[in-house]
Structure 1
Amino acid sequence: MLTRPPSPEARSPSPISVWSEDDADASSMASSSPSDVVPALTRGNSIVSSTSSAQTSMASSVIGEGFVLESHDDVLTVPDRYQIDADLVCPFQILDCERVFADIRHFKVHVFSHFKGHELPTSASCFLCDRKFANGPEDDAAQAWNAVLSHLAHDHYRRGQRLATVRTDFELMRETAGSHEAVCGTAQRGVHDECGEKSGQEATRFDEKHDHKEKLDVIVAAPPGGNNKSYATATANCILYAADRELFGIRRQGSSNNSMSVGEIFADAQRSNVGHKTLAKRLRRLENKAGFEGQIKQSISRLLEVSKSEVAGQRVVKFVTVYFQDADGSDATTTAVLLNLLPYTCAKDRTVRYRATQLVAQILAVLSAIDDDLYRMIRHELIKRLYDKVPATRLEAAGALGRIVENELDSDQEGHDSDEEAAPTLLDKLLDVLQNDSNADVRRKLLLNLPITPNTLPYLLERARDKDAATRRALYSRLLPKLGDFRHLSVSMREKLLRWGLRDRDEQVRKATARLFSERWIEDCASTKAQASDASTVDDKLKIHDASIPALLELLERIDIMNSGAENGVGTDAMREFWKARPDYVDAVAFEDDFWDKLSPESAFMARTFITFVCQSDADQRAREEDRIPEVTRIGFYMQKHLNTLLDSLRAKEEDNAEQEFIVEQLLHIAHQLDYTDEIGRRKMFTLLREAISTADLPEEITRLAVEGLRLVCNPNAAGEREFTSVILEAIAEVHDTILPPPPKEEEQKAVKTIMVNLKCLHIAQCMLENIRGSLQGNVHLESMLSNLVIPAIRSYEIPVRERGVLCLGLCCLLEPKLAVENTPLFVHCINREH
């Protein structure tokens, strides 16, 4: 309860109103003169007159290393936390307050200062027990809190209890958070709590102290629990003064927004991101006032020591950016602020370096023009920060220099750059950081900020192999879509980007690559097909066009589908993701007779991937698209046509057979996906594939696909496997019979042809062995092949024939374990002889 001492003559006036009679045993009451003032909220609190000096006798009571601090009234005092009897801990430890006091009066002053002069809650709960206190109808506003603090000091602290079992008063926290009453000296105070404008005039400070001293006299003379309005007003003002309003820089409630000072504007800016534009306008109204430049430099300088994790600091940085957004780089205030920040970029403290570099980078990003001399200074300092040991500082410097080098390249192209070596030198440094910086955020920052030129593009695209997944994802999701038409890239680079992205170990990178292929690259081709003239706009190129099969065929041609469309090529992966992402193109596919009559490598690959996608889809998808899958007889007819065309070109020894071979391969892939329940179609495909296998002139890839297709046509049971091996051995015999006795002058040609035919027969046998699962024993066809083809090949003096014979023997050993044991010495001998 707020009371006054029993007798003014018995005890001198107390320097604070929150004092009760039951605190008499809390501390020794040294008499004080009328000039005593309320102690300031600093680490050192003075309890003696300002005219006195520190008592040397107190040195023995200091714990640890002895030292004193200067208080607000210029008196050297021993900090409370180093006094032996300092046991009164501030209960607001949840606000990161760690103050400890020996005097209960100073303890109460400090606790009340957390409320910053606002109206106190009408109830209070003990922080260490369940006891509660509440104000009565006639009680003073501070009655409940005065009582709980006295209870806390006498019933807990003085009896040895500490805040180890402190209980958080959530009702109090909710109430203070809603009105912004509880403010701590470190974490919750914010960035610019010390940004209040100090006049620096000692006379004014003395008047304020004298004025508060008179109010203290009113408090002492007022009756406890009375309704004296001047008493309540003086109490609030006294607590506000004890909290040192000037130090914390917080405006009194009800002050006019139009008369806000620079410090008050920055204090408001740190509380929320909302209203920064309005605050920036108010700050601009103060530009013509005297001392404005010094005040804004002081306010910005207070931000330098705020850590990166502090949210209030980021808000102030954003506010500073908003303020300078419309400023001119040659403006006196802008120049003064930047010149004031540049020395701090080389500071010893890592937080100061980071904040100074961040502010310079952010201000530089919003300026439309800047003085040349200032520009060179900033450039020089940022280059040094590019190699800072703190990654966050390097990150800010990299972002700023990425924009600077773009401007330098533009000026160099226009012929306005007097230093021709400047831009390449800076660019080389940034490219070196892009390749070698250990921090992924720095590399990603440069990846997204460096200008895209023919010189920088290879360095940017190689980030597709960066060890950081987020950097690789940024390349595919942000840089490549921004790059423009993908056709400006080389064919090999397109294929590499697809292969690296679609086969990345990170799922998000794979998804970003699939979106790039199915949404951006296809639209680049579709926009070319859709435009009727050269008058297309940027919006036309960015919009989603209707499905266009010619655009899809062009896209396949642009990624060199003949090389990337192999069985395990990246083209297969790309089209699988394309059909999943673009159902409009799935609906647009139609296999008319004209489509099959004019097959090209791109259209054949499109048909193969579409049919594979439908056959591997769920039952509903297959049922919807089943009508568009061609029949086995139809595919067999077109396969026969293209096989004959390929054989004719091979026998005519034409050089350009790659396209026809690719088309036949795609038709064989389609044959692997068909349904062979139709007996007529099955017999047609069986005959066609057998003839293809027995043709010695066909390439090995076509022969392999034909053997796999023949195994699918035959029944999957043991009888079907015996039929399959019988047909294959017949084909091998037919191929071997192509070796005819030549005239005596052609012995050398006969030897070469014999080697080629033996290699062809062994390749067919290898493909057969890879597609059977039965045992070698009991299958007379396989035993005959082993004795008449494989073993003679192993004994051959021709190395290619011997190597393929050993490979076939190994496949036979997989089917017969006993044969593997018998031939282990042979395999060891081949390994030792490096065969």
Structure 2
Amino acid sequence: MPARLKRTEAHEPDSVDSLAPVLEQQLPALFGGAQNTTASHRKLINSLHALFLRCSLVTTPSADGRSIRLSGEKAFGEKFREMCAFPLGVKKGVDQADRVVKFIAGFVGFAVEHDFKQREANDEDDEDEDDGPASRLVAQLLAFLLRGFQAKSKIARYRCVQLVALMINSLGEIDDESYHTLKSALLERVRDKEASVRQHAVVALSKLQDADEGADEDDSDEDSDDEDEEKAKGDKRTVTEVLVEVLSHDPAAEVRRAALFNLIPSPTSLPALLRRTLDVDTTNRRLAFSHVLAEIPLASLTVAQRQVVLGRGLRDREEAVRKASRKLVARWIEQVAGEEQDGQAIIEEFVGLFNLQDEEGLGVAEKALEALFEVRPDLVEGIDFGDSFYQSLTPATAFLARVYLSHLRDAESPLLADIEPVVTALAYFLQAEWTQLVVTLEADERNDEREASGEFIVGELVGLAINLDYGDEIGRRKMFELMREMLQHSLLPPSLIPKCLDVLLKGTSERDFMRIVVEIVQSLRRDSHLVTSDSELGEPDDDDSSSSSEEDDEDVPEGRARRKDKGKGKAKAPQQIERRKELDLRCLLVVRALLERVMSALQENSMLHGLVAELIVPSVQTKDYEIRAQGLVCLGLCCLLDKSMALDSFLLLARQSESTVGDMQVKVLQTLFDLLVLHGINFGEDRGIGTDIILGFLGSSLDQEDPRAAATAVVGIAKLMLAGMVTDEEILSRLVLLYFAGETADNPELRQCLSYFFPVYCYSNPANQRRVANVMIKCLDVLRNVYEETKEKSSMVTPLQIGAQLVDWTDPQKALDAENVQADENVQVDLAIKMVKALYRSEEKDGRKLWCQLLPKLYIPDEADDLTIKALLLLIDELKDNRPLAEAVPRNALNRFEAAVRKTFGERVDALTDEQIDESEVVREVKTWVDRVEGDGSEDEGVDGDEEEEESDEEESEEDDE
């Protein structure tokens, strides 16, 4: 009978009371097992789900009997959430907590999926989708976790967001209110101060991207009903917009990485994804290539985008990023190849992904082909580089031949001898392509595409010819004759001139090379004076701005008749001038390329003297912009080869740098600074071009309005100062002002140059630190006033930050430890005296506060001179007595500085005798300075006294340099 009773009790339905001990016993056991290993999670999830279904069957009627209470679900949910709360307080990095969180997310996903299958099996309507027990459990758990989003504990916020991110894919269909609540909570956590919280918030938010588009469309007409305007404004931002902002601006690399992994590529997000190829974090840059770009179809990228991103990757400083870029090339090859098996056809199509007519595109395409040779060598090894290959060249195949041969040459591959064409054969191939190009250029109907294609093929063949072996005399003569023929032809594209000269230079001495080129230039100049026949001149150009009034009416019959009557009259003059201009410009381009390739002094090559007088000087004096620009460049190159010509032309070039604009101004400035670096700033003293004139030019060059010209001037002056050629403190102060002023914030080239210059300049030489210390007070005063007048404070750092940077640059502890160079340990001791003097003179509250805040940042070495410290303390005492500080913050900072100095030097200073103090020059100077300022009340005299001290410091610096 007892046994039968137990059996009956075992089959009795569960109740809330009977479930309580079961939940108390089994839930902790299941969660405890889940924290040990993930291998048992599937089994534990099944057991937990079975218990959940068992509890969901337990219901109780309501008090009025009209409804049913889900008491079993409630009991399970309460205990389940209690167990979920345990890992929420465990810090990041604990494996047991991570396993439990994954277990919870896995159970939620399993339960929701089981509910979905159950509804499908029962053919329930979609309206009842939220009525399943799993949906109710998930909704309650989500509400519980969202409350944890607002927790003060960063650990709780991290675990709650982590769990939501893991289970968000398992939520199934949720109502609009729950969706907006979840989205708003995640948007808020995206701005959390903890990077780990932001990272998981980004992961969770990214899973709402697809749902967000439909939700935004549905809610577009309901925005006016939102109670909280700020919250509504935040919700209006799409998930994609938020993720793009995080990807672009979040300071934590791991948060940007999460956005990079989870942001779906689209026209909106693609530019931000591509910008991660410039991320400061190496891992993010690598993943941008291996994860993002590898999954984006080539058709989704423009030619410019392909060139930019691949160029960045293949030129990256980190090998890991370059390796990922090469793998991307292999991925693109697979997309291009498709079912194609012909290696040459695949490579031609791959090269077609880039713009070979663009210099940047050409460079990237060359890097891409080199990567292709490494990752897919089989494609190029199957190509036959025989005569038939060179007889049917296209831009892509010509480019392939040059790059592949260069690759084999750099790798010292034995394949080069079998593939490289002999000089004679290449000369014939090049002759054929050149003839075809000339025919295209002389055709009555111009075809820009054919011209560009022919020019590119000829250029690649000439580039290939540069590196050939010219031991074969017959081939050498054939190639050199062809080069002379091409250079003498008036239709040779300017881009081919330097390449042709490189071939000429390959097998000749420099003197013979110059003779040949001078003969070519003279031949071109003769042609420029032989343009006389009507057949050469052709019909006048209606659009020529320099045409005469008779040409303007060429469409009128009377005008044409009048022009015929005049024969070779004024109607031909404008076209003749234009033709002669083209030939003169071509001559200048040839001379420029020549001067860029020779190294011997100009006096040793008398054959160039005639070109200087007949071509270069008149070109500099002409009003035509193009000719004058090339003439100035040629003149500058001549000056680099001849010091006497540099002396004669320096002032002319300096005036041109002030009167020209744009590219010409940049070229002239580069030439001037090259001359100064080569010849020194004192090279013109014998001709009246003294140091004062050179320094005046340097100062005026910093006043450029054009950002490129200003950056060029800064780069040139930085070179001179690093070389020790320029030590003027006025120029140095101008550089300091340019670096920190807000006006140069939009000139990254200038800022980047100075950000490298100042640390190297200061830490490499103690004398340079002394110079920076001498100009610091004046510069900081100016910059403080500029900052106060600046409306956009974000364009400029605060004066305190500027001062701290200047103090860091003058820190003798950071000076480079080099042989025969002794650090100036007292530089900041003297700077402290200058700061206290500035504090003494300053009447503005912000100014006094600034100097007091900077004083404690100075390095006062234990080996400092006792009398100098005595002068510093004396000056501080006079300041407190005569001009005490009213504000607490600067007063406390000054007191801390004084206390630190007295703690270190107090006994030593007290031990000084009155005789030593009276005989000290630095103490006497401080007393005199204070008496003068207090006696006359004149700050100007105080400034003058300080300037006298700076002059003496400058003299000391010059002595140190000597």
Q: Write the letter of the residue equivalent to 1:323.
A: F
> How big is each residue's C-alpha offset from its partner over 1:29-53, in whole Å with a ceiling of 9 and x where there is no partner?
xxxxxxxxxxxxxxxxxxxxxxxxx
Hey, what does 1:768 align to over in structure 2? 594
Q: Write the letter of the residue equivalent to 2:512.
A: E
Distance 1:559 1:825 in 2: 45
Hey, what does 1:624 align to over in structure 2? 415
Provide the secondary structure at the position in 1 that maps to 2:247: helix
Distance 2:361 2:220 in 1: 54
Hey, what does 2:492 align to over in structure 1? 698
Residue 229 of structure 2 is aligned to residue 435 of structure 1: no
Hey, what does 2:621 align to over in structure 1? 795
Distance 1:724 1:448 in 2: 58
Q: Write the letter of the residue equivalent to 1:466.
A: D
Q: Write the letter of the residue equivalent to 1:823.
A: S
Hey, what does 1:744 align to over in structure 2? 569
When structure 1 is superposed on structure 2, of 508-517 and 460-469 the one drifting more is 460-469
Q: Write the letter of the residue equivalent to 1:643.
A: W
On the 8 A contact 1:548/1:585 being kept in 2, the answer is yes
Q: Give 1:547 shift.
A: 6.1
On the 8 A contact 1:328/1:369 being kept in 2, the answer is no
On the 8 A contact 1:469/1:506 being kept in 2, the answer is yes
On the 8 A contact 1:668/1:705 being kept in 2, the answer is yes
Matches within 5 A, 1:577-588: 577-588=371-382
On the 8 A contact 1:405/1:423 being kept in 2, the answer is no
Hey, what does 2:108 align to over in structure 1? 324
**C-alpha root-mean-square deviation of aligned residues, in Å?**
3.0
Distance 2:273 2:361 in 1: 28
Matches within 5 A, 1:500-579: 500-517=312-329, 519-527=330-338, 529-530=339-340, 548-563=343-358, 569-579=363-373
Q: Write the letter of the residue equivalent to 1:286.
A: L
> How big is each residue's C-alpha offset from its partner over 1:122-149, in whole Å with a ceiling of 9 and x where there is no partner?
xxxxxxxxxxxxxxxxxxxxxxxxxxxx
Hey, what does 1:80 align to over in structure 2? none
Distance 1:687 1:395 in 2: 67
Q: Write the letter of the residue equivalent to 2:249.
A: N
> How big is each residue's C-alpha offset from its partner over 1:292-323, in whole Å with a ceiling of 9 and x where there is no partner?
33222111111121111323222222222232
On the 8 A contact 1:305/1:351 being kept in 2, the answer is yes
On the 8 A contact 1:696/1:757 being kept in 2, the answer is yes
> How big is each residue's C-alpha offset from its partner over 1:446-475, in whole Å with a ceiling of 9 and x where there is no partner?
222122333333333333343433333222
Hey, what does 2:239 align to over in structure 1? 426
Q: Write the letter of the residue equivalent to 1:281.
A: N
Hey, what does 2:91 align to over in structure 1? 307
Distance 1:457 1:419 in 2: 29
* The one of 594, 604, 624 aligned to 2:388: 594
Residue 196 of structure 2 is aligned to residue 392 of structure 1: yes
Structure with the bigger percentage of helix: 2
Q: Runs in 1 of length 4+ with deviation above 6 angstroms?
A: 257-260, 415-424
Matches within 5 A, 1:770-789: 770-789=596-615
- Computing the radius of gyration from Cα coordinates, the structure with the larger value is 1
Q: Give 1:642 shift.
A: 1.1
On the 8 A contact 1:564/1:571 being kept in 2, the answer is no
Residues 445 and 391 of structure 1: is their aligned pair in 2 closer, same or farther, counting only changes over 3 Å? same
Residue 51 of structure 2 is aligned to residue 286 of structure 1: yes
Distance 1:347 1:566 in 2: 53
Hey, what does 2:442 align to over in structure 1? 651
Q: Write the letter of the residue equivalent to 1:524.
A: Q
Residue 161 of structure 2 is aligned to residue 357 of structure 1: yes
Q: Give 1:266 shift.
A: 2.2
Hey, what does 1:728 align to over in structure 2? 517
Distance 1:660 1:605 in 2: 12
Q: Give 1:565 shift.
A: 7.2
Q: Write the letter of the residue equivalent to 1:640.
A: Q
> How big is each residue's C-alpha offset from its partner over 1:618-667, in whole Å with a ceiling of 9 and x where there is no partner?
2xx2x134211211111111111111111122122514211111111111
Q: Write the letter of the residue equivalent to 2:261.
A: L
On the 8 A contact 2:484/2:520 being kept in 1, the answer is yes
> How big is each residue's C-alpha offset from its partner over 1:260-283, in whole Å with a ceiling of 9 and x where there is no partner?
732233233223333222332333
Q: Give 1:572 shift.
A: 1.4
* The one of 277, 290, 314 aligned to 2:42: 277
Q: Give 1:674 shift.
A: 1.4
When structure 1 is superposed on structure 2, of 656-665 and 383-392 the one drifting more is 383-392
Residues 547 and 351 of structure 1: is their aligned pair in 2 closer, same or farther, counting only changes over 3 Å? farther
On the 8 A contact 1:636/1:685 being kept in 2, the answer is yes
Q: Write the letter of the residue equivalent to 1:359.
A: L
On the 8 A contact 2:202/2:259 being kept in 1, the answer is yes
Hey, what does 2:770 align to over in structure 1? none
Hey, what does 1:211 align to over in structure 2? none
On the 8 A contact 2:497/2:590 being kept in 1, the answer is yes
Residue 472 of structure 2 is aligned to residue 678 of structure 1: yes
Give me the identity figure in percent. Answer: 31
Hey, what does 2:682 align to over in structure 1? none
* The one of 621, 628, 633 aligned to 1:807: 633
Distance 1:389 1:503 in 2: 35
When structure 1 is superposed on structure 2, of 372-381 and 447-456 the one drifting more is 372-381
Matches within 5 A, 1:251-262: 261-262=26-27
Residues 589 and 322 of structure 1: is their aligned pair in 2 closer, same or farther, counting only changes over 3 Å? same
Q: Write the letter of the residue equivalent to 1:694.
A: Q
Q: Write the letter of the residue equivalent to 2:100.
A: V
On the 8 A contact 2:437/2:455 being kept in 1, the answer is yes
Provide the secondary structure at the position in 2 that maps to 1:662: helix
On the 8 A contact 2:402/2:464 being kept in 1, the answer is yes
Q: Give 1:259 shift.
A: 11
On the 8 A contact 2:592/2:634 being kept in 1, the answer is yes
Q: Give 1:765 shift.
A: 0.7
On the 8 A contact 2:282/2:321 being kept in 1, the answer is yes
Q: Write the letter of the residue equivalent to 1:663.
A: I
Provide the secondary structure at the position in 1 that maps to 2:264: coil
On the 8 A contact 1:487/1:558 being kept in 2, the answer is no
On the 8 A contact 1:361/1:400 being kept in 2, the answer is yes
Relative contact order higher in (CA < 8 Å, ≥ 6 apart)? 1
On the 8 A contact 1:633/1:681 being kept in 2, the answer is yes
Q: Give 1:759 shift.
A: 1.2
Q: Give 1:523 shift.
A: 0.8
Provide the secondary structure at the position in 1 that maps to 2:583: helix
Q: Give 1:521 shift.
A: 0.8
> How big is each residue's C-alpha offset from its partner over 1:102-157, in whole Å with a ceiling of 9 and x where there is no partner?
xxxxxxxxxxxxxxxxxxxxxxxxxxxxxxxxxxxxxxxxxxxxxxxxxxxxxxxx
